[in-house]
Amino acid sequence: MIKNYGDLELAYDVIVVGAGPGGSACAKIAAEEGLKVLVLERGRYPGEKNTSGSTIWGNVAREIIPDFPADAPIERVVDGSRMYWVPDPGPDWSEFSGASKDKTYVDPLDVYRNEFDKWWAEQAVQAGAELRNSTKVVNVIRDGTKITGVLTEKGEKIEGQITVGADGVNSIIARMSGLRPKWPATENALCIKYDWVMDEKTITDRWGSGMDDGVLIEVYWGATIGGNAGYFWIFPNRNSVSLGLGSLMSDYIKYGYNTHWYMDNSINHPLVKPKLKGGKLREIHAHAIPLTDPLMGYMNYTYGDGVLIVGDAAGMVCAIDGAGWYGAVKAGKLAAKTSVRAIETGDTSADTLARYQKKWSEGDIGKTLKIGKEMEIWLTHDVGINNLAQMVTASNAHSMEHPLDLSSFISGNVANISKLLSGVRFGRRALMPYLELFGSLLGGK
C-alpha cells in the first residue's frame, strides 16, 4: 500500500524500530492489514538484549496471535505465586502463596525471552513484514516537521510514511523526533538478571504448583533482599530459573551499591540460597527500564507528524512491579491500527495519529501506569513494606489458599494502606484496575 508524497515515493508504509514485544506486535498487525512493513533490530536477533523476568500473559498474546500458544516456545504455565515481604531489620517475613484451580485459560506463562522474542518476531515475518537484524538506527529523517524515515549507523536512509519507535528505554526515535529527552535517574531503573541453570526435576520439586507442569513464581520485597527500592524475583523455566532485581538509578546512586552487590545479597539470603542449591550461573544480563507515568511531564506526547512511540520507549512500564510486556504489546497493536487508518486516509499528521495516545491513555495501559506510579511508594520503600507485612500477619493473610484473596485483602484495607503512602490517598474504585492486574499475576483469571 505504498503512497506518494508529491514526487517522493516512500519505500515502506511503516518502519518499526525494535523487534521486541511491542515492535513485533505492531509489525504483525500492520502487515496483516496489507501494509509494507520493515522492522529494524539492532541486536543480532530479537531478544538478544532482553532482561525480562520472563513471564508473559497469554490473553494479551492472543490479541496478536489468536491461536496462541500454538507452537510458541513456552517454558512453564504459571499457576500462581509466592510473595514475600521481608522487613528490615530482623529475620521476620510474611509469605503469600496460592495456585489457581481454574485452568481453562493459559495466563500467565513463563518463557525464555531470548528464544521467545525470536519466535514472536517470526510471526510478524510470516505475516509479511521484513526483518533486518544487526541494524542500528542513529537518527530520524525529516521533511519539515514530519518524520519520513530513519538513518542507520552505516549511513543508509530508509524512508516510510510512519515510523514506530519500539527501541527501548534509550529510544533514538523518541529523542531524535523531539518527543522526549532522556529519562532522569528518578524515573529510570536498572535491572539485572541471572540465568541460573538447574535440572528440570529439581525446578519442579522446588517451584511446582502441583498441577500438571505448572509452577509458582516468587517475588521478594524488602531492603534486606531486593535492594532499597526494588524487588527480587525467581521465575522458573524448563531447565533454568530467571533470577533478577531492579531498582531506580537514583537509589543506586543514593545508597552507593551496584546491581551485582544487591544480587549477591539476594541470592545468598537465607530464604533464597537453599532453593538455588545445585544450580549454576549461565548468563548475566543488565538492562534499563523506565518507571514513570509518561504523561506526567517527561513525555507529553507519544505521537508526532509521521511517528508513534510504544513500549519502554514511551515509558509504558508499571512502576510498582516493572511489568512492561503487557503495555508494549497492547500499544503495538494500537499503533498498527492507527497507522492503517492514517495511511488509508492519506493523512499521517500528528492530528490524525493523536488518536493512538487517546486510545492507550484512556484504556488499560494508561490506568495501569497511573495507579502503578501512585502506588510505587507502597512496595518500594521499607516503611510501606514493613507496615504492610504487619497488617498481613495480623490478618492471617499469609495463609491464603487462593491468590485472588490477596487482592481482596488489599481492596478491603484501602483506608489502612492509604496511611502508609506518605500522603497519597486512594479510593476503592481507583485501586481496583491495578488490583485486578495484580491478581492475574498471582495466578488469577
pLDDT of the residue at 162: 99
What is the rounded average pLDDT of the residues 72-100?
67
pLDDT of the residue at 424: 39
Three cell numbers at 8?
Answer: 517522493
Give residue 113's identity as a one-letter amino acid code.
Answer: R
Is the per-residue pLDDT at 65 higher than 90? yes
Q: What confidence category does residue 80 fall into, taking pLDDT thresholds of 50, 70 and 90?
A: confident
Q: What percent of the chain has pLDDT over 90?
A: 45
Mutual angle of helices 404-411 and 428-441, in 10-degree steps: 160
Give residue 330's identity as a one-letter amino acid code.
Answer: K
Q: What confidence category does residue 389 fall into, taking pLDDT thresholds of 50, 70 and 90?
A: low
Domains and CATH numbers, the chain: 4-55+114-183+293-362 (3.50.50.60), 79-99+186-290 (3.30.9.90), 374-441 (no CATH)
What whole-number distance in Å separates Cα of residue 202 and Cα of residue 199?
6
Residues in the chain: 445
Greater confidence, 299 or 15?
15
Q: What confidence category does residue 378 fall into, taking pLDDT thresholds of 50, 70 and 90?
A: low
What whole-number distance in Å separates Cα of residue 7 and Cα of residue 247?
50
What is the rounded average pLDDT of the residues 85-113?
58
pLDDT of the residue at 401: 35
Per-residue model confidence as pLDDT tens digits over 255-268: 777 778 888 888 99
Mean pLDDT for all residues in the chain: 80
Give one DSSP letter per residue of 410-430, joined into a string: HHTTHHHHHTTSTT----HHH
Three cell numbers at 314?
Answer: 514511551
Per-residue model confidence as pLDDT tens digits over 205-262: 999 988 878 898 888 876 556 555 567 889 999 999 999 888 778 777 777 777 788 8
pLDDT of the residue at 64: 97
Is the per-residue pLDDT at 90 higher than 50? no
Q: Of all helices (H) and strands (E), which one includes residue 4? A: strand 4-5
**What is the chain's alpha carbon radius of gyration, rounded to the nearest angstrom?**
22
Is the per-residue pLDDT at 1 higher than 60? no
Please tell me whether the peptide bond between 73 and the residue prior to it is cis, using omega within 30 degrees of 0. no
Closest CA to 404 of 435, 430, 431, 367: 435
Most confidently predicted of 76-80, 197-201, 371-375? 197-201
- The model's pTM is 0.83
- Residue 193 β-bridge partners: 244, 285
Local structure of 15: helix, strand or coil: strand
DSSP state, 87?
-
Least confident of 1-10, 87-96, 240-249: 1-10
Is the per-residue pLDDT at 290 higher than 90? no
Q: What percent of the chain has pLDDT over 70?
A: 72
Q: Which residue's entry shows cell 510473595?
A: 83
Q: Where are the beta strands (DSSP E) in 112-173?
A: 130-132, 137-143, 146-152, 157-165
pLDDT of the residue at 85: 72
